[in-house]
Amino acid sequence: MRLVIQRVKRAKCTVDEKITGQIESGFMILVGIKESDTLDIVEKMADKVSKLRIFEDDEGKMNLDLKKVDGGILSISQFTLYGDCKKGNRPSFTEAKEPKAASEFYEYFNDLLKAKGFKVEKGIFGAHMEIELLNDGPVTIILDSEK
């Protein structure tokens, strides 16, 4: 599983000119699911996200987690995080989990974060989405379950 987490002041997802998810400060997370991922991996990654301390405290140190700043999450499914361009110039997506299972894992990931008390907004799995965000910092963290 691969996550690209951006600390944002605001983020919004639009599909067919309709807002499907919108947050003020918090995390905008691109979520990639790999073919070999398991539900256990999804649980570990959700736990990691819930404890990630990338917000500044009074001394300017990244010491605060999402709960401490009352932040939200905009979660966006993103199979292209597993695009492989090692051979040629056109990416191969063979490492990405097939869509039906990936959608179930993505929803499970979001449900876990909601169960931890976070406000979770989403895009629409498999849709063409337009994402707007105001990156705060900028701070961008990549979490990979294999690293």
**pLDDT tens track for 69-80:** 999 999 999 999
- What pLDDT was estimated at residue 147? 83
- What pLDDT was estimated at residue 124? 96
Q: Is the pLDDT of residue 128 over 90?
A: yes
Q: Which fold has domain 2-144?
A: D-tyrosyl-trna(Tyr) Deacylase; Chain: A; (3.50.80)
Q: Is 140 designated active site?
A: no
- Which contacts of 48-51 are long-range, i.e. CB under 8 A and separated by 24 or more positions? 48/143, 49/3, 49/5, 49/73, 49/113, 49/143, 50/113, 50/116, 50/118
Tokens 């701070």 belong to residue: 139
The secondary element (H helix, E strand) that includes residue 43 is: helix 39-51
The first and second tokens of residue 135, run together, are: 């990156």
Burial of 44 (0-12, 13-18, 19+ CB in 10 A): middle
For the chain, what are the domain ranges? 2-144
- Min mean pLDDT across 12-16, 61-65, 90-94 is at 90-94
State the average pLDDT over residues 81-90. 91
pTM of the model: 0.95
Q: Point out the catalytic residue in the list 14, 80, 94, 140.
A: 80
Q: Is the pLDDT of residue 3 over 90?
A: yes
Facing residues of 30 across strands? 4, 76
State the average pLDDT over residues 111-122. 98
Q: Which of 17, 1, 3 is nearest to 132 (CA)?
A: 17
